Amino acid sequence: MEEPEMQLKVKKVTDKFTESMYVLANEPSVALYRLQEHVRRSLPELAQHKSDMQSWEEQSQGAIYTVEYACSAIKSMTDSSVYFKSIDSLLKHAIAMKDQLNAAQGRSAVAPQAKNPPGSS
């Protein structure tokens, strides 16, 4: 009869031992140790990712600046179309006035020759 009683005692001892091991394995200091190990293993990779992201951010900021500068230049060019139209109008007016002057000089040069026929001088 002592055999079943002994088995019961052994089962109680092993259950208590298992429970103690479970508590010990899940003790906060062990959890913190495991967390520390996890951080120690993953930190270099996370630091590399952070460095990569900062590099990409710098490149993106440079590209954004370039695009904004190009947009500003294009806006300035479209805003200056008013001035170019004005210059075009003034040039056309100047050419028309020059043509009028040339025509007037051509008539005044022809008029004196008509008054003095060739061979009369």
Residues 6+ apart with CB under 8 A from 24: 30
pLDDT at res. 121:
47
pLDDT at res. 118:
57
Tokens of 84: 């170019």
What tens digit of pLDDT does each residue of 15-59 get?
A: 998 988 888 777 778 778 888 999 999 999 999 999 999 999 999
Q: Are 30 and 24 in contact (CB under 8 A)?
A: yes
Tokens of 44: 């270099």
Tokens of 25: 């394995």
pLDDT at res. 66:
96
pTM higher than the cut 0.75: no
Can you tell me the mean pLDDT for 70-79? 92
